[in-house]
Amino acid sequence: MKNQICTILGGGGFIGRYLVRNLTKKNYRSMIFTRNTFQKGYLKTQATPGSIELINWNPNNFDELKESIKNSDIVINLIGILYETRKQKFMNIHAGIPEAISKICAQSDVKKFIHVSAIGANENSKSLYQRSKFQGEIKALTNFKNTVIIRPSVVCGTEDNFTNLFSKLSFLPIIPIVGMRYNFQPILVSDVADAIVKAIETKDNHGKIYEIGGPQVISFGDMVKSIMKTLNKKRFVVEMPMSLAKIQSSVMSLLPINPILTRDQCEILSEADNVVSNNHLTLQDLNVKPSDIEEAMKKWLWRYRDGGQFAKVE
């Protein structure tokens, strides 16, 4: 039996490296469309020669992608951005790309299209990020009946932009954060990869939405405090008023650096919690047991401790 072919968009990103590893164990041949392929060579170490092909892709050119999808059994979209830039806009990335992919899938013999979205996707949200995520889901589900949506909460892991960010900020005696009481359900990146593979293998789940989160609902403030405890650093974690945060984020958006906080993210933090609802399928339906994030992050945050891995944790 020939290996099934899986076309992955954004396979060189955070979730992608873990997903590719899982797919190779299942004998999938992965066609990975990503920018700057010369920086993604490490992905080829995940499988035997020939099992992984890296293809440099310009999101404005769907010709080469169309040819790959037509020869694929499974298509997975992992592409997403946390903030807008001059060249990358939420609606183009989160809605335009899944719309184009799903249309190509409908014209091909693709068995299943897995589209990774986010918990909180909502057409009525004040956040453009959340509205664009919702539009991407609707377009994918409408254009291709064999679409499956995966909505993770905040994804954590060795290379994440969350636990590592606050670990880097631990040099500050006082750490101000927005939305201290905002609840979310952090999930380990390897669990997200497991969930995607299980969603591929699960039969008769076309048109379904899976909301996936870790085993614990925790507030933003408590999570940052947990990170500081893991680092063995005593810091004051205080709440920044939302009005001040919006002013600060607006100023930061004018600077030529990656923003720590955007005005759109402030809107997200002022809305409903980022937790698994009872309206859709969950990890339990995929037979995936989520890992304890607070325990798992000790494996990668030790590098921020004074003394590193040899530091004595109180």
| Distance separating alpha carbons of residues 163 and 281, to the nearest angstrom | 27
User: 40-69: b or e for each residue (b if 16 or more CB lie within 10 Å)?
Assistant: beebbebbeeebbbbbebebeebeebeebb
Chain-centroid distance, C-alpha 192:
8
Domains of the chain listed by start with CATH number: 5-155+187-213+275-290 (3.40.50.720)
Q: What is the pLDDT of residues 27-79, one digit of tens each?
A: 999 999 988 888 888 888 877 788 899 998 887 778 888 989 999 999 999 99
Is 252 a residue whose pLDDT tops 80? no
* Rounded Cα distance, 88 and 45, in Å: 30
Q: What is the mean pLDDT of residues 158-177?
A: 94
**Residue of 191, 183, 187, 271 lying closest to 223 (CA atoms):** 183
Of the candidates 115, 107, 16, 111, the one whose C-alpha atom is nearest the C-alpha of residue 62 is 107
CA nearest 53: which of 1, 11, 112? 11
Q: Where are the alpha helices (DSSP H) in 82-127?
A: 90, 97-106
Query: Coil, helix or strand for 112?
Result: strand
> Cα–Cα distance between 36 and 146 in angstroms, integer?
30
Which pLDDT does position 47 carry in this prediction?
76
DSSP state of 187: E
How big is the CA angle at 279 (ends 13 and 185), to the nearest 5 degrees? 45
Mean pLDDT, rounded, of the chain: 92
Q: Is the pLDDT of residue 1 over 50?
A: no
Tens of pLDDT along 176-192?
A: 999 999 999 999 999 99
